[in-house]
């Protein structure tokens, strides 16, 4: 790994750590397009590059989400009864979906990823102020069967687009009248077991594929995970603490535009947008 690549991974880790802590999103929306571009520059075959980006991103989220979880817990922003009810469904959905993702082509995954992130960007931009003053948590009113089914869905989609689940969990919990800051903290807590299940799934589902680049195991590139995690571990708590101080609505609008741009960039990298040039 050359020096420039190390610096790129360190900077990427610093940014996704902040994003994960601040918005409870896990950072996959940024990591997957960036890793796709980086791996393509390392001559990873196009039919494997998105799988490798997804698996590597999911493994990075393990460290980021753990650090974010600790910070949100220290701030009293994790609703642990909700976490306990949701964790099994999230783990089952995530693990199962990684094997589905391994059978889908890179181009199809890229299109699904871009469409989903486009949807997330629209939701973040248009609803950036909704929920900011939501009432205190009323999670006891949420039906348990609904919660389990929602958790499986959250885990499944999160695995296919390699996110910590916050893009789905936070809107769902705020819709169910959980305070926005507690929804973000709870999402960060759910993101840790989700990322473990996803990482194991991508490791196993990609094990039979030939390693695209050195030190790649399954669909996980270990050097990228280690270097990205160095900075993300330290910046995630900073982001979590900033949640209590910064105008999250404004930041969501900025981040929504970034997600949309990176998703289009990813499609262009895979020559799915031949008329565009970034």
pLDDT digits (tens, 9 = 90+) for 179-233: 877 888 898 899 899 999 999 999 999 998 877 788 999 999 999 999 999 998 8
More confident residue, 254 or 40: 40
- Least confident interval from 30-44, 90-104, 168-182, 234-248: 234-248
What pLDDT score does 140 carry? 52
Region 118-138: what's the mean pLDDT? 61
Of 22-36, 50-64, 145-159, 200-214, the one with minimum mean pLDDT is: 22-36
pLDDT classification of 137: cutoffs 50, 70, 90: very low
| Least confident residue range of 74-83, 149-158, 159-168, 249-258 | 249-258
Q: Distance between alpha carbon 254 and the CA centroid of its chain, in Å?
A: 17
Q: What is the mean pLDDT of the chain?
A: 84
Work out the pLDDT band at 275, boundaries 50, 70, 90: low
Cα→Cα distances 84→80, 99, 101, 177, 204, Å: 6, 25, 26, 18, 26
- For residue 235, what are the contacts with CB-CB under 8 A and spacing of at least 6? 13, 14, 15, 17, 18, 21
pLDDT at position 50, please? 92
Q: In this structure, what is the dihedral angle of CA atoms 205, 207, 211, 217, given to the nearest 10 degrees?
A: 90
Mean pLDDT confidence for 99-112: 91
* Alpha helix (H) residue ranges in the chain: 3-23, 28-41, 46-74, 80-102, 106-126, 144-161, 166-175, 180-205, 222-242, 248-269
117 vs 102 pLDDT, higher one: 102
* Cα 189 from Cα 196, distance rounded (Å): 12
Residue scoring higher pLDDT (183 or 56): 56
Average pLDDT on 92-109 reads 93
């Amino acid at each position: 790994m050359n020096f420039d690549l190390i610096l790129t991974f360190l900077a990427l880790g610093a940014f996704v750590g902040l994003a994960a802590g601040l918005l409870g999103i896990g950072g996959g929306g940024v990591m997957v397009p960036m890793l796709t571009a980086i791996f393509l520059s390392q001559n990873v075959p196009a039919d494997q590059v998105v799988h490798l980006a997804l698996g590597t991103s999911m493994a990075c989220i393990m460290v980021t989400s753990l650090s974010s979880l600790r910070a949100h817990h220290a701030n009293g922003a994790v609703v642990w009864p909700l976490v306990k009810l949701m964790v099994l469904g999230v783990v089952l959905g995530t693990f199962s979906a990684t094997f589905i993702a391994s059978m889908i082509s890179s181009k199809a995954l890229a299109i699904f990823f871009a469409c989903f992130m486009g949807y997330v960007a629209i939701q973040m931009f248009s609803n950036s102020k909704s929920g900011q003053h939501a009432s205190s948590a009323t999670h006891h009113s949420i039906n348990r069967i609904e919660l389990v089914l929602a958790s499986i869905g959250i885990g499944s989609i999160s695995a296919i687009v390699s996110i910590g689940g916050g893009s789905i969990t936070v809107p769902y919990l705020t819709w169910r009248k959980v305070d926005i800051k507690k929804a973000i903290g709870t999402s960060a807590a759910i993101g840790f077991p989700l990322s473990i299940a996803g990482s194991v799934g991508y490791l196993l589902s990609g094990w039979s594929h030939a390693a695209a680049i050195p030190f790649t195991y399954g669909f996980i590139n270990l050097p990228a995970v280690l270097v990205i995690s160095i900075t993300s571990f330290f910046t995630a708590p900073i982001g979590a603490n900033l949640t209590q101080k910064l105008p999250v609505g404004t930041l969501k609008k900025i981040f929504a535009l970034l997600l949309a741009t990176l998703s289009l960039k990813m499609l262009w990298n895979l020559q799915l947008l031949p008329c565009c040039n970034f």
